[in-house]
Amino acid sequence: MNTLNETHDPKLRSWVASANEAGCDFPVQNLPFGRFRTARGVEALRIGVAIGDQVLDLRATGLIHTDDMNALMAASPADRRALRAAISAGLAEGSSRQGAWQGALHAQSALEMAVPCHIGDYTDFYTGIHHATTVGKLFRPDNPLMPNYKWVPIGYHGRASSIGVSGQHLRRPLGQLKGAADAPPVLGLTQRLDYELELGYFAGAGNALGEPIPMGEAEQHLFGLALFNDWSARDVQAWEYVPLGPFLSKNFASTVSPWIVTMEALAPFRAPLKRPAGDPQPLPYLDSAANREHGALDITLEVWLQTAKMREAGAPAVRLTRGNAREAAYWTPAQLIAHHTVGGCNLQPGDLLGSGTLSGRKPDEAGSLLELTLGGKNRITLPNGESRTFLEDGDTLTLRGCCERAGAVRIGLGECAGTVLPAVALDA
């Protein structure tokens, strides 16, 4: 795992003034990677590093000679650390590179951001034990957790082609809905559109087909993470998910934040993996001393909602929930890598592993409306008098995340936002 070095020094400041402001998501201790263009939809995407409210065009600095983010992600851990050190030194206050790099900066507000890399494959896991338990109680009151949950990281293969970047506008999907009693199903618009608060883990260097990645090497194959919203049509999901899991209820849209916060940047915010007393210990291929000591991630996660009426009235978004990934996730990113590859599956740079919904124990830590409203039974009332059980057209849902710890500089994950649009009419 990554260790602390000079790039994490709390005293380090940047010559980019906005990076030194209190509460900034992107101080010089963070340095997340993304892809951008200055002319919307016209020029090729370039690799950038977020610093304060600016983006550093990495190729323009001369530190890299490619615009292929996946190629950069395939670099060895040593090369990634060296690149981070060089970027940090160049952006540090008093750096001799300030004059040369000043012209490589662009205001974030003026850029078009893209999905941060090419996502070849996407697997969604189910690591949020409180989410799994609460949802399980709604459908299986006597047996909320399936017997395999505490033994194996449960996951399913998702749809990479419908993943968009923050700011995405998604159409309300159609799907088969179960009719009342013995009535046949009908094709209709989902009435139970939901979000899922997740983290997305991006693979770095891959593995050869047939060669598993052991736990001791798993984090070397992780490039970093981003916020991730796996939008869900709950009524479609309830009808279709047996026996093979989600399909149309999930494949219509997912949204990822534009910045990949690297595993190196997260080094100050690691935490022990804690299992409740009496729970089984992982099988050996999912266990290591390092993972037990600091395999978990201390990341605060928030969900914000702004309705169309709030937006029209100039009212800000309201926070729905706030929790922490450390308390929510039953399995660590390293365990997901080890399990995903134990049968010989070959991961490739840019592959995305979703954490699954990260909900805490308390209602105000829920990572979905399905939990927050107990399946639609309890409406939530917003400050302007509107209420919700599930998302309505015009709603903008935003995920936010940050890492804060004594002795370290706060870093943020940026935002992951999406707005619900009405469905496209289906021709008869």
Catalytic positions, written as ranges: 131
Amino acid at the residue 373 = T
Start-to-end CA distance of the chain, whole Å, equals 56
The CA distances from residue 83 to 88, 416, 419, in Å, are 9, 26, 36
Amino acid at the residue 53 = D
Is 191 known to sit in a ligand binding site? no
219 Cβ contact list (under 8 Å, min separation 6):
1, 2, 263, 333, 334, 337
Is 43 known to sit in a ligand binding site? no
From CA 342, how far away is CA 282, in angstroms rounded? 14
DSSP 244-309: T--STTTTT-EEE-S-BEETTTTGGGEE-----TTPPPPPGGG--HHHHHH-EE--EEEEEEE-HH
* C-alpha closest to that of 305 among 285, 290, 321, 289: 321
Task: Give the CA radius of gyration of the chain.
Answer: 21
β-sheet bridge partners, residue 229:
197, 255
Evaluated on CA atoms 97, 102, 106, 109, the torsion sign reads positive
Is 230 known to sit in a ligand binding site? yes
Is 250 known to sit in a ligand binding site? yes
Secondary-structure breakdown of the chain: helix, strand, coil percentages, each rounded to the nearest 5: 25, 25, 50
Is 126 known to sit in a ligand binding site? yes
Is 195 known to sit in a ligand binding site? no
From CA 95, how far away is CA 89, in angstroms rounded? 7
Is 124 known to sit in a ligand binding site? yes
**Is-contact 125 354, C-beta < 8 A?**
yes
175 Cβ contact list (under 8 Å, min separation 6):
187, 188, 190, 233, 235, 236, 239, 240, 248, 249
Judge residue 44's burial from the number of C-beta atoms within 10 Å of its C-beta, 0-12 exposed, 13-18 middle, 19 or more buried.
Answer: exposed
Q: Is the peptide bond prior to 153 cis by the omega test (within 30 degrees of 0)?
A: no
From CA 246, how far away is CA 221, in angstroms rounded? 27
Is 237 known to sit in a ligand binding site? yes
Is 254 known to sit in a ligand binding site? yes
Residue positions in the annotated binding site for substrate?
126, 140, 237, 241, 357
Residue positions in the annotated binding site?
124, 126, 140, 196, 198, 230, 237, 241, 250, 254, 357
Residue positions in the annotated binding site for Ca(2+)?
124, 196, 198, 230
Residue positions in the annotated binding site for Mg(2+)?
230, 250, 254
